[in-house]
Chains A and B, each alone.
Chain A
Amino acid sequence: MTQTRNLIDENGKRTDGRTVDELRTIKITVGRVKNADGSAFIEFGKNKIVAAVYGPREVHPKHMAQPDRCVLRCRYHMSPFSTDTRKNPAPSRREVEISKVMREALEPALMLEDYPRAAIDVFVEVLQSDGGSRCAGITAAAVALADAGINMRDLVAACAAGKVDDKIVLDINDTEDKEGGADMPVAYMPRLEQVTLLQLDGKLTPDQFNECIDKAIGGCKMVYEIQKQALMQKYFGNETELKEEIQQ
């Protein structure tokens, strides 16, 4: 990916008006899909993504069940109208790969040994995509898993950073993804301080690499605050603090 035009103007503004350190607007609604055990709808910039979790539940076909732990199944799929050119509804190789890295991003956070012989299904559907949809999908999926009451060691927050006009920027959008120099999506467990997804698409020098990963982690921490707020809002409404000490 070598850039052909400038994507950051003289005032340091990107194609959508953001500065290099600015995250797009994120809005998360918990419990959006009524039939699911847990769900979340995320608007991450122009991305509109639904994540639904069913589980733990019986595994079909039965021979896929594992005796000592739960089977995690993830599907990342884009609706035909979600992209600039219509996408064929059949799963593409990109969707297959993203389904896999998404599962591997979420699995470290889940306590799958608690649900032997069962399955947890995570479905991430992209209704509108605008760069960084896998990060938005993982972010929504983690919230949906918490909503479903699955035992988790930590949440998983995801955010991408990239190289545009030779500068390291946070949270690249669709244009920057297509025309920019590099794209690095990262998923992170905030309390455990562990990275569960890391990919790089493009060229970075060692210094740029360090800057990029640090920036992406910073983005993940900001995303985590929004996940937390969304969950607290749904479950506890405006009462964010319970009465603390109840003493004898």
Chain B
Amino acid sequence: MHDVKRRYVIPGDKIAEGNFRPLMNVIKSGNALIATRIGIAETGRDGVKVIPLSGVYIPRVNDLVIGKIIDHSSLSWEVDINSCFSAHLPAQDVFGRDFSPARDDMGKHFAIGDMITARVMAFDRTRDPMLTVQDRDLGKIPRGELLKISATRVPRLIGKRGSMIQTIEQATQTRVLIGQNGIVVVTGRNPEGIKLAVRAIRMVEEEAHTANLTQRIKMLLNVPDTPPQQEAQRVGAVGASKPDEIESTIDEVEEELEVEEEK
């Protein structure tokens, strides 16, 4: 149950005045809350924030990223994660504590140009990001179609609890791997399905800031749109008789808020 005021802003725009908490991409200047990026400003009960629409990916601990091996030293691989810094994957992470450069051949494990899924294990203002491939499902990506989107559109592509990406996967019979850093890999048996999934992903990227995107994606994929009743139940916080338009906008707001809060 909350009011959310939304507005398009550019850096320097005043979003609100008064006793609000400045959240991401917002600074307090005197009594005013100011946007520091181009994006969608949201004023809610817990504060004012701007969902950015452009900007290089800045790593956060625990992010799932897709990276490219670009070099290795005797102790670690250097990984391009499409960010302002190269990341490092320690050899110990792969070979274990008793790793020995003489015995364990780094070049055999990952070659230059290999794509991997990894998790950001450490990153702060004093050092480069450190990765791990320890978990299940992490490691070298054997095949698939590669896309790069702006990292700022990733929350929208995933959707609330994965709803947007699941819609795309199910409709196109593909599996879509999304890195928080904006790298996406699509795999599937059917080349037509892959092509359609790529189109849908590009559409989300371009129209992430607009209302009714979910509907338009469903149209592109030839998926029937679920009736308002069901949508209301999913959103939970809103009454059952709202028109579609506002419904899906709230959907989108919830998606972004929720995904952001998980961080």
Contact = CB atoms under 8 A, between A and B. Distances in A.
B85 A239 contact: no
B245 to A, nearest CB: 8
Nearest to A224: B12
B21 interface: no
A17 interface: no
B37 interface: yes
Given A146-B11, A191-B34, A246 B3 contact: yes
Contact of B54 (A118, A148, A239): A148
B166 to A, nearest CB: 25
Contacts of A246: 3-6, 246, 249-250, 253
A117 B86 CA distance: 12
A174 interface: no
Nearest to A38: B54
A244 interface: yes
A169 interface: no
B12 A155 contact: yes
A242 B86 contact: no
A228 B10 CA distance: 7
Contacts of A241: 7-8
Contacts of B215: none
B7 A242 contact: yes
Nearest to A228: B10
B57 to A, nearest CB: 10
A148 B56 contact: yes
Interface stretch (A6-14, A53-61, A159-167, A211-219): A53-61
Contacts of B54: 38, 147-149, 235
Interface in B28-69: 29, 34, 36-38, 40, 52-56, 58
A76 interface: no
A45 B211 CA distance: 38
Looking at B29, B37, B52, B250, the one whose CB has the most chain A CB atoms below 10 A away is B37
A111 B36 contact: yes
Interface of B is mostly: loop
Contacts of A153: 11-12, 27, 29, 34, 36
B1 A248 contact: yes
A232 B39 CA distance: 10
Contacts of A192: 12, 29
Contact of A146 (B10, B40, B209): B10
Interface residues of B, number: 42
A150 interface: yes
Contacts of A242: 6-8, 40
Contacts of B253: 246
A236 B12 contact: no
A79 B238 CA distance: 59
A231 interface: yes
A229 to B, nearest CB: 10
Interface in A189-244: 189-192, 228, 231-232, 235-236, 239-244
A245 B10 contact: no
B11 A232 contact: no
B6 A151 contact: no
Contacts of A247: 3
10 contacts: A56-B56, A67-B125, A67-B126, A115-B58, A151-B25, A152-B37, A189-B12, A192-B12, A231-B38, A246-B5
Given A192-B29, A241-B7, A246-B5, 13 more contacts: A111-B36, A148-B55, A149-B55, A151-B37, A154-B11, A154-B34, A155-B11, A235-B53, A235-B54, A243-B211, A243-B249, A244-B6, A244-B7
The 9 closest A-B pairs by CB, nearest first: A149-B55, A154-B12, A149-B54, A152-B11, A56-B84, A151-B36, A191-B12, A116-B125, A118-B84
